[in-house]
Structure 1
Amino acid sequence: MSTLKRVAIVGPLPPPAGGMANQTRKLGEFLTEEGLEVDIIQVNPAYFPAFIGKVPVIRAGFRLIQYLVSLKRQLKHVDVVHIMANSGWSWHLFAAPAIWVAHRLNKPVVLNYRGGYAQTFFEKSWFWVKPSLRKCQKILVPSAFLQQVFEQFELHADIVPNVLDQTKFYPMEQKVVNEQPHIIVTRNLEDIYDVATAIKGFALVQEYFPQARLSVAGTGPELNNLQALVLQLGIESQVTFVGRLSPNEIADLYRAADVMVNTSIVDNSPNSIIESLACGTPVVSTNVGGIPTLVTDQHDAILVGIENEQAIADGVIKLLQDDAFRVTLIKNGQNTISKFYWENVWRNLQQHYLKAIAEKG
């Protein structure tokens, strides 16, 4: 009979507080609450010794050696290995080594794959990726979008949604939009999230709501360019770059906002949309990647094409002006996110763990 007492989670931890890092941490906490022993093998620990972190190339070697040592030591004693995986170098440096170490130790592997670049990555690197994937007892993905990508490469993946922390992300009493609506963006300041389009869209919203405010929560390499854009548009008095926030702070920001805008050009199943809906804040988002399988246009969100600031602005204005429509989207959004509650995720995840153990055994 399959037993499940101890789980190893291989993945990143904050800081930085990215989507996968937050999911790794929360998964560990929830599994512990279920009475399991949980070992988290962090793929992004601080460099040791610290000065190595300042030496390119060599630092990667040091981290890889330390990582392999941790894998071999900690995986010996677990019942199942849950690997948080992504595309690109992250796959080659962290996910693939963990799969092969677990395989050599005869430990069942549940691969939790995420990331909007999966298809492009597989097309370029399938020769190297396929052998590792074949060693996994279970492949889990957070969206139907990624499930379809795996199907194209003749591999089956099961859907297990991201985990939502209900103790942090919950709605407040219904808000009434006033003459100073608060709009927010909560993505990292990177090219793929195209925050520039959100800012341009906000400038158009100001033509209808001159006192509107925009808060941009996140950090990243595009910060200087985005600040320059705000100055160029002459909206610096209404835009605030609040930096990286803690989970509690970001939840408070959602509840304080009237609309959340997501303008990503590549995406899978963004936690920002899930968290915003959970907090009762309606969403205007681009319709890329897995987002149309996460939410439905005009039902629980407004979806538009990429790099279209006018469409973003039109969506925001509609939500601010049409009270009945906004209330309907908020109510539907609350129903949509119920599948992300831990009790539902755990029921599903537990079965995959047990099946992986049985298959390996």
Structure 2
Amino acid sequence: MPDVAPARKVRVCLIGPSLDIVGGQSVQLQRLLVGLGESDHLEVSFLPVNPRLPGALRVLQRVKYVRTIVTSIAYGASLVRAARTNDVLHAFSASYWSYILAPLPAMLIGRLWGRATVLNYHSGEADDHLSTWKRTAVPTMRRFATRIVVPSGYLVHVFGSFGLSAEAISNSVPIEMLPYRRRKRLLPRFLSNRNLEPLYNVACTVRAFALVQRKFPDASLVIAGDGRERVALELLVSELQLSNVTFMGRVPPNGMGAHYEQADIYFNSPNIDNMPLSILEAFACGLPVVSSNAGGIPFLVTSGTNGVLVERNDHEAMAAAALHLLDEPAVALSLADAARAECESKYTWPHVQRAWESLYLSLAPAC
């Protein structure tokens, strides 16, 4: 933290997806909005990138293509108002077109008004995004972002490989709101809670579970989440003749605690990822983690220390790891205890709060 606090509160506008959209970015945005709202040094507001139009104009947002145009116009007008009244525009970012439509206009308008801009990039697809869009993404980030912040050392490395300086401020996990249980005895009860999209490769989890169920016929798998792959995954469950597989659909963040508490092993098998909140939440709940080694996950999970990592798309290795934990509950408990301790020491709100406050206050002189 700077030695001298500013004469007035630094006004920060958080810009990102609407809070009624379930996803990692919206969850982190909500936590920042609530937590930083209690700061003595900051005045924090929120601007959705997908504003809901009032009255009869909302009908236009139901028309394909038209909704993109009218929503972008409304978003742009909101950005101009935010730039007039705030010192720092903090824009959450995903990849590809999402970057063009949401954080890029925020950074452009912010810099036109002489405001500090923070690009908070969360996507595990950063390497491909910056490679394939290097004539647009890289130069605009370099020119219009005052600071680039990412949630993991993995993305710091990715951005650095494109000549972009980024700093890491980790995601936070509200351990006081999650059910913690030391699992001295494991039952074959598995949980997956990633969106059902191709990059998260939930099919690998299903196939791993199939191998586990050969040894433990009463094993169960809860799949919380929804997406384009749901029908294909339900067909896969049927083809493999699996039992005790439950598709929960989309679960709001405040509803996930019960599912963590009821599970005994957390399965995670993405092909592309960054710093999944779900792993941190599993850590906080005392749930041993078996995951692929995609993207930034090895920056979170040290295999054999606080979880188990396997190669991407290797369902046999996932199943073998899970069976080992079931056969050796003391090993599983040791991994889970280490994960919980790491969660407490790195990813709780006080640690994250100090990092964000220090960043904003360092930008205040330029505001």
* TM, length-normalised to structure 2: 0.93
Q: SS of the residue aligned with 2:134?
A: helix
Cα offset, 1:125, TM superposition: 1.4
Post-superposition Cα deviations, 1:318-348, rounded to whole Å, max 9, x if no partner, equal 1111011011101110122231111001111
Q: Which amino acid aligns with 2:336?
A: I
Give distance in 1, aligned partners of 2:53 and 2:317: 44
Q: Look up the match of 1:16.
A: 21
Post-superposition Cα deviations, 1:73-124, rounded to whole Å, max 9, x if no partner, equal 1231122121111211110001110001111111111211111111111112
Q: Which amino acid aligns with 1:19?
A: G
Q: Does residue 304 of structure 2 align to residue 298 of structure 1?
A: yes
What is the number of residues matched between the two proteins?
A: 357
Post-superposition Cα deviations, 1:57-86, rounded to whole Å, max 9, x if no partner, equal 111000100000111112311221211112
Give distance in 2, aligned partners of 1:130 and 1:106: 21
Post-superposition Cα deviations, 1:222-242, rounded to whole Å, max 9, x if no partner, equal 11111111111111x310001
Indicate the larger mover: 331-340 or 296-305.
331-340
The match for 2:169 among 156, 160, 165 is 160
The match for 1:177 among 168, 186, 200 is 186
Q: SS of the residue aligned with 2:102?
A: helix
Q: Look up the match of 1:273.
A: 279
Q: Look up the match of 2:97.
A: 89
The match for 1:150 among 148, 159, 183 is 159
Contact 2:179/2:258 (8 A) holds in 1: no
Cα offset, 1:352, TM superposition: 1.2
Q: Does residue 342 of structure 2 align to residue 336 of structure 1?
A: yes
Q: SS of the residue aligned with 2:15?
A: strand
The match for 1:34 among 36, 39, 46 is 39
Contact 1:10/1:83 (8 A) holds in 2: yes
The match for 2:117 among 96, 109, 121 is 109
Aligned CA-pair RMSD: 1.5
Contact 1:47/1:59 (8 A) holds in 2: no
Contact 1:189/1:195 (8 A) holds in 2: yes
Q: SS of the residue aligned with 1:219?
A: coil
Cα offset, 1:132, TM superposition: 2.6
Q: Does residue 207 of structure 2 align to residue 200 of structure 1?
A: yes
Map residues 63-82 of structure 1 onto 2, 5 A cutoff.
Answer: 63-82=71-90
Structure 1, unaligned stretches of length 5 or more? none
Q: Which amino acid aligns with 2:301?
A: V
Q: Look up the match of 2:245.
A: 239
Q: SS of the residue aligned with 1:126?
A: coil
Q: Look up the match of 1:346.
A: 353
Q: SS of the residue aligned with 2:149?
A: strand
Structure 2, unaligned stretches of length 5 or more? none
Cα offset, 1:248, TM superposition: 2.4
Contact 1:13/1:25 (8 A) holds in 2: no
Q: SS of the residue aligned with 2:163?
A: coil
Cα offset, 1:137, TM superposition: 1.9
